[in-house]
Amino acid sequence: MIALFQRSLAPYRVSLFNSLSDALDGDFTLVLTRQDRTPDRRWTIQWSEVRCRVVVLPGHRLNLGRGTLEVSRGVRATLDDLKPQALVLGGWDVHACWAAMRWARRQRVPLVGWVESSQRTGLHRGVVSSTVRRRFLRACSAAIVPGAESEAFVRQLAPALPCHHAPNSVDAPDLRAVGQPPGHGAALFIGELSPRKGADLVLAAATQILQLFPRLIMAGDGPLRSDVIALAAQLPGLEYAGFVEGPEKARLFEQSAVILIPSRRDPWPLVACEALVGLRPIVVGPGVGSLPDLEQAAGEAVAVMPTATPRDLVDAARRAQGAVVPSGLRAAFRPETVAAAMATAARCAVSAVTPVA
C-alpha cells in the first residue's frame, strides 16, 4: 500500500491518481486534508470519476490572513489502519504531512517528497523557510519533481536525494484532437486573473497584442476580474470569456493561435502542457519553473519573456506567431506515463529500506 498526502484534490489530478492506483495494482490511497476545493479555486471536481481510494482527514482551518492552515486530526489512526509501505508527501506546508512524517519515523516507513516548486517560483526563500524545507527533505529517501528546476531546488537542499521526474499530466482527448492553429487565431490568456500569473501584463499590452492578433481572449477569475471586464468594454477585440473548464476550455483553444503564460511565479503551469498537446505555441514568463523542460520539448514553439514587462510580452507574442509545435507532443504528458514514474519512485523507496533484523 502506498499512501499519498495532498491538501485537496484538483480536477486535473483525478486521472493521474486513478492511473497511479492502476500502476500500483490498487494498493494506493489518496489522503486529503479537505474534500471541498480551496477558496481561491472555482473548479469542479467530478467525484464520480474518482476510482482510487480516498480518505479525507477531519480537522479545522486556521485563517492566517494571507491564507489558511489545515490542521488535521486522525493521521496516526488512518496510517495505522492503512499500514502503508511508503508515503508520498505533497507539501512541506501541509500539517498532515508533518504528522505523517512522525508516524513514518516510528514505523520505519520510507518517505517520498513531492516537490513542484523551485528557487524562483515562490515567495518564501529565506533562512527559516530553507531550514524547514531541508529538514523535510532530509526525512525523505527520494523526491518526485516535475522537471529540471525543481530538481535543482531539491539538490540545493538535499544534494544526495534521488529525484524522479513526473511532470503535470493532461487527460484531455478533446485538446489532443483539435486541429492546427487557425491562421487568424486569437491570442489566449487562460488562468487566474492575478499579477502572479501576469494578467496585469496582458491588460497593459492588450492594444499592442491586438496589432498582432485579430482577437485577444482572457478567461479565468481572480482579483483582476473587474479590470479585465472594464477594459473589454472599452477595447474592441478584447474578449472576456469568464471562468471556463472542460469543453468550454477546449473551444477556446480551438480559436487560439498562441497561448499567453506571462507568469511571475508559477512552478509548472498546467495550461502550458495543455497548449502543447493542443499544438499551440506558448509565450512564457520569467517566473515559469518548467521553462527549461518546455524549451527542450517544444523548441522555438516556446517564446520566452526575459523580464515581466508588457514590452517583453509583446515581443514574445510576435516571435510565437506561426511557430510550429512538434506533433509528437500530442502524446506527451499522459496520466499513465506520469503515474508510472510516480509508482517507480514509491517502489524504489520501498525496495531501498533495509529489513529489520
CATH numbers and ranges of domains, the chain? 2-169+334-351 (3.40.50.2000), 173-331 (3.40.50.2000)
> Which residues contact residue 306 at a Cβ distance below 8 angstroms, ignoring those fewer than 6 apart?
286, 312
222-228 CB contacts, 8 Å cutoff, 24+ apart: 222/40, 222/192, 222/193, 222/194, 222/197, 223/193, 223/194, 224/193, 224/194, 224/195, 224/199, 224/200, 225/193, 227/193, 227/200, 227/203, 228/193, 228/199, 228/203
| Tens of pLDDT, residues 48-96 | 999 999 999 998 877 665 666 778 999 999 999 999 999 999 988 889 9
State residue 124's pLDDT score: 56
SS3 letters across 271-326: HHHHHHHCCCCEEECCCECCHHHHHHHHHHHEEECCCCCHHHHHHHHHHHCCCCCC
> How is the chain split among helix, strand and coil, in percent rounded to 5?
40, 20, 40
The amino acid present at 57, given as its one-letter code, is L
Cβ pair 250, 175 in contact under 8 A? yes
Whole-structure pTM value: 0.91
Q: Identify the segments of the chain with pLDDT beneath 50.
A: 356-357
State residue 121's pLDDT score: 64
Q: CA torsion sign, 140 to 146 to 147 to 153?
A: negative
Helix axes 247-255, 270-277, angle to 10 degrees: 60
State residue 194's pLDDT score: 97
The amino acid present at 107, given as its one-letter code, is Q
3 state DSSP class of 88: strand
Count the neighbouring beta carbons within 10 Å of the beta carbon of residue 64.
8
State residue 40's pLDDT score: 65
> Which residues contact residue 113 at a Cβ distance below 8 angstroms, ignoring those fewer than 6 apart?
88, 89, 92, 136, 137, 140, 142, 143, 144, 154, 161
Q: Which of 162, 84, 100, 99 is CA-nearest to residue 350?
A: 84
Beta strands, E only, the chain: 2-6, 28-32, 53-56, 59-63, 68-72, 86-89, 111-114, 142-145, 163-165, 186-190, 216-219, 238-242, 256-261, 282-284, 302-304
Count the neighbouring beta carbons within 10 Å of the beta carbon of residue 49.
11
Alpha carbon 174 to its chain's center = 20
Cβ pair 17, 53 in contact under 8 A? no
**How many Å apart are CA 117 and CA 114, to the nearest integer?**
9
Cβ pair 112, 144 in contact under 8 A? yes
Alpha carbon 217 to its chain's center = 22
